[in-house]
Chain A
C-alpha cells in the first residue's frame, strides 16, 4: 500500500500549499489589485477543488458504484459529477451563511452538529436509492425486459444524497471570505471550487464505466446482476456512513 499512502501524502501536500496560497492571496487584496487577485483566487480555488475531491470520499464512491450498472453512458457520469458538486456548493453556502448570520456563534460546533445531521440524511437517502436500484433490478429481471427504464429520478436522488453534505473545505473558504468582508468573492470561490470538484467526481464515474467495459466478463453479462451489484455496494456505503456518523457523535 506504499503507493496509496504516497498518493495521499502528495494530495495532502498540494492541498496544504493551495490552502496557504488562497488565504495569503485573499488577505493581500486591496483597492488596487482587487480584480487580478480575485481572478487568481478563483483559479486557485478551481485547482484546490480538483485536488480536494481527488482524495477518497463518499461522493466519488457513490458515483463509481452507481455507474457499475450504467456502463455506456459517459455523459451521464459527467452530468452526475456536476450535479453532486452543485448540491455540495449550495449546501455549503446555505450552511455557512446560515450559521454565520442566523446562529451567529459557535461556528465550528454548530457546523459539526449540522454536518452530522446532513450526513445522516445523506446516508438514509443513499440507503433508499440502493434499495430502489436493487428492487428495480429484480423487477426488471422478473419482467425479462431490457433495461431502459427511466433513471433520471434515481440519478437526481443519487446526486442529491451525496451533495447534501456540505463540504467543509468549501465552507472554510466561504467563511474566511465573510470574515474579511469579501462576500461575493466567497460565493464565487465556492462555485469555482465546486466546478473543480465536479470534474474529479465525474472522472470517478467515467473511470468506473471504462473499467467495467474492460472487465467485461466480470460484470457485463447480465444487466440485472450489474444493477444488483451496484445497488449492494451503494447500500453498504449508506450503512457505513450512517454507522460512522453515530459513532462520531
Chain B
C-alpha cells in the first residue's frame, strides 16, 4: 500500500531543502600535469555562459575595449572572484577525504567569443593517490559543468564522475595511474 504521509513528507522536504536554482553556468577546464605520482602543475579555466558573461563584461571592461587590463583584472579579483573563497572556489580538493584549502594564484580574466574566462593556478604538489577534485556550488546558484572533453591531463589518466552529496550534485575528477 502506498504511504502517502511519507510521500507528502518527502515532497515538503524536497521543495524546502534548496532555495535557489542555477543562474550562472560555468564550464570548468582543468589542465593538470603529473610527475612521479604528484601534481606538478594545476591550472583551472572557468568559462561563464554567454548571458552571464554579457552582464559581467559591462561591469568588468570599464574602458570598453573588450580587453581586461591589469587594473580591471585586479578589480574583478577583489570584488567578484575572491568572494568565492568562502565556498573554496567551488573546488573541493580532497586527499584521503581530507579537504584542502584552495588558494588560487596567477588569476587572470579574459574575454573570448563574448564569454568571460577566469583562469588560475593551484601551486601545490599533491600526491595523486586518493586525490579527488569535486566541482560544485552547494548553494546551487552557479552550476559547475565538467565534461570529460574539458579535461587535459598529462602523466595520468582522468576519470570524470558524478557524485551524490545528498542535497547537491558535484562533478568529480580523479587521477589514475597510467598503465604501462
Contact = CB atoms under 8 A, between A and B. Distances in A.
A12 B22 contact: yes
B124 interface: no
A58 B19 contact: yes
Interface stretch (B37-45, B64-72, B104-112, B163-171): B163-171
Interface in A36-70: 52-53, 55-58, 60-61, 64-65
A222 interface: no
A207 B21 CA distance: 20
A10 B15 CA distance: 16
B59 interface: yes
A106 B76 CA distance: 12
Please report whether the interface of chain A is mostly helix, strand, loop or mixed according to DSSP: helix
B50 interface: yes
B172 to A, nearest CB: 12
Contact of B12 (A11, A20, A106, A233): A233
Contacts of A57: 15, 18-21
Contact of B164 (A5, A107, A208, A215): A5
Contacts of B114: 27
Interface of A: 1-2, 4-6, 8-9, 11-12, 15-16, 19-20, 22-24, 27, 52-53, 55-58, 60-61, 64-65, 105-109, 168-169, 172-173, 175-176, 179-180, 204, 207-208, 211-212, 214-215, 218-219, 233, 237, 240-241, 244
Given A176-B50, A240-B19, 20 more contacts: A4-B166, A5-B166, A6-B162, A6-B164, A15-B21, A15-B143, A22-B51, A55-B18, A56-B18, A107-B58, A169-B21, A169-B23, A172-B55, A173-B51, A176-B51, A176-B54, A211-B4, A211-B7, A214-B4, A218-B5
